[in-house]
Amino acid sequence: MDVNKAAEDNVKLIDDLLKKGDKLVESFEQTIQNTHTKKDKMEQEADNVTHELNNDMNIAIQAIRDKYAKNIDIVAEKRASCAKQAIAHLGHLEMQKTTTESAMIGLQTLKQHGHATQLANMAQDITSKSEEWCHTKASEFDTNITFNIQRGEVYNDKIVFAKVDIQNLRDTTSIKRPKTIKHVKPTVVKKKKLNKIDRVWDLAVTNSNKVVAKDWNNPAYLYDKDLTLKTTFGKRCAHIATDDEEIYLTSQTDTVSIYHQDGTHSRDLKLPTLKQCRGITVNSRGELVICDWSTRVVYHVESTTGRIMAQSAVFKNPLCVAVNSKDVVIVSDNSSHSVVGITRDGTELFMYWTHGNGQNQLKWPNGLCTDTADNIIVADCSNHRVHLLGPDGKFIKYLLTESDGLLNPGAVAVDNEGQLLVGDHCGNIWVVKYTE
């Protein structure tokens, strides 16, 4: 064997092998670099996803906190509002109790130490006080709030939030039920010009049969059953409503002012969704039913928190509102010259209208109310008459007309004795007997 030749050949083979080794090393280096790049990319993607997961987790946690905090705030607000009402009611009861006890002490003193002449001249005062006390009662606090929770659930792929159920269980003994009444020929029992009022724009009757009346953009006035002025309260009122406890005043703003039935201020209820509150009434749930002049919508509003519970479709010009014993909402749509009956969710049940001065026609209807039989009474302002409709919105008869001397009736209400009160734009109250 030629050693030198063999060595030379192997050197060449080693050179080829080294070249292959260089390529292999380059391949390893490239693969190592690629692996580092992939590793860095993977780690960066993982870091990004982890960051996003943390962000999403924080957002989800905040959303859960916000959801539960909102419910907690609603419960706290409802609790505070109800407690405030209870405290105000207690104060009102304590004041009535103190006033009654003070009067009794005075009577006891007169009975024991009064002069015979003084006692002999007290018959009218005794009768008046006796009648007042017969019509006065210690009103129960009828706002019975219940709080219940339906607990949340956590699953592998979803979370179900807890639900809070807050119910206002009003005293059902005070809810009026429809009664059968017999109509008689309408008779004007009394007509009286009210002190302080030039035009009667709205009327309401308290549970002690006192009358609340108002002129346009003036305070509200409280009269006794003989229509003698007792007190003045509120500012620039638009419309009035009452329930067993309170008097509610609107003023074409986003606020309802609430007073005790003696005219002392209780609280204000701000309603950000509403802009120009006009006609107002109270349904059997204790909700305020309000016509908003700005949105042209009738709203059902929770009377303690101001939350919107339901709303109607858009009217042309909803001015006044009433409800019957079934909580059917009756609206006088002033500029469309109609009276419309709707359900709580706004579904139309009936419409009484056409524009004119003929039979069954209206011209700028204003105030309206219902009686104990769910009949509807409408002040047909520019036709100078008052319509009586059945619960279905169909015409029955006129209760007062221009031939009786009526001019521009603006407001109607039924008192606790079943008599109709009609307020006109001359400042008069007409007391009309139309049932037995």
**Which residues have CB under 8 Å from 359's CB, separation 6+?**
395
Indicate the average pLDDT of the chain: 90
Residue 383: what pLDDT? 97
Q: 104: how many CB neighbours lie within 10 A of its CB?
A: 10
Query: Residue 327, by phi and psi: left (phi above 0), alpha (psi -120 to 50) or beta?
Result: left
Q: Which two tokens stand for residue 397?
A: 């008869």
Average pLDDT over residues 370-397: 96
Residue 70: what pLDDT? 84
The phi and psi torsions of 119 (rounded to 5 degrees) equal -65, -35
Spatial contact of 254 and 275, defined as CB atoms under 8 Å apart: yes
Beta bridge partners of 221: 213, 232
Residue 48: what pLDDT? 95
Poorest-confidence range of 66-70, 209-213, 418-422? Answer: 66-70
Which run of H or of E encompasses 64? helix 3-113
Spatial contact of 384 and 402, defined as CB atoms under 8 Å apart: yes
Q: How confident is the model at residue 75 (pLDDT cuts 50, 70, 90)?
A: confident
Work out the percent of the chain whose per-residue pLDDT is above 90: 61
Which run of H or of E encompasses 389? strand 385-389
Terminal-to-terminal C-alpha distance of the chain: 147
Spatial contact of 18 and 10, defined as CB atoms under 8 Å apart: no
Residue 26: what pLDDT? 93
Work out the percent of the chain whose per-residue pLDDT is above 70: 96
Secondary structure of residue 234 in the 3-state scheme: coil
Distance in angstroms (rounded) separating the CA atoms of residues 245 and 260: 7
Q: Does residue 396 have a pLDDT over 50? A: yes
pLDDT tens string 137-189: 777 776 677 888 888 888 888 888 888 877 765 544 444 556 778 889 999 99
pLDDT tens string 96-108: 899 899 989 988 9
Residue 173: what pLDDT? 45
Residue 124: what pLDDT? 86
pLDDT tens string 213-237: 999 889 999 999 999 999 999 988 9
- More confident of the two residues 416 and 67: 416
Q: Does residue 3 have a pLDDT over 70? A: yes
Concatenated DSSP letters for 86-117?
HHHHHHHHHHHHHHHHHHHHHHHHHHHH--HH
C-alpha distances out from residue 137 to 125, 131, 204, 262, 302, Å: 20, 12, 19, 13, 26
Spatial contact of 269 and 303, defined as CB atoms under 8 Å apart: yes
Residue 89: what pLDDT? 83
Which run of H or of E encompasses 69? helix 3-113
Of the candidates 139, 330, 343, the one whose C-alpha atom is nearest the C-alpha of residue 243 is 139
CA-based diameter of the chain, in Å? 167
Map out the domains of the chain with their CATH numbers: 1-139 (no CATH), 183-435 (2.120.10.30)
Q: Which two tokens stand for residue 388?
A: 């009586």
The phi and psi torsions of 195 (rounded to 5 degrees) equal -70, 135
Of the candidates 251, 256, 260, the one whose C-alpha atom is nearest the C-alpha of residue 216 is 251
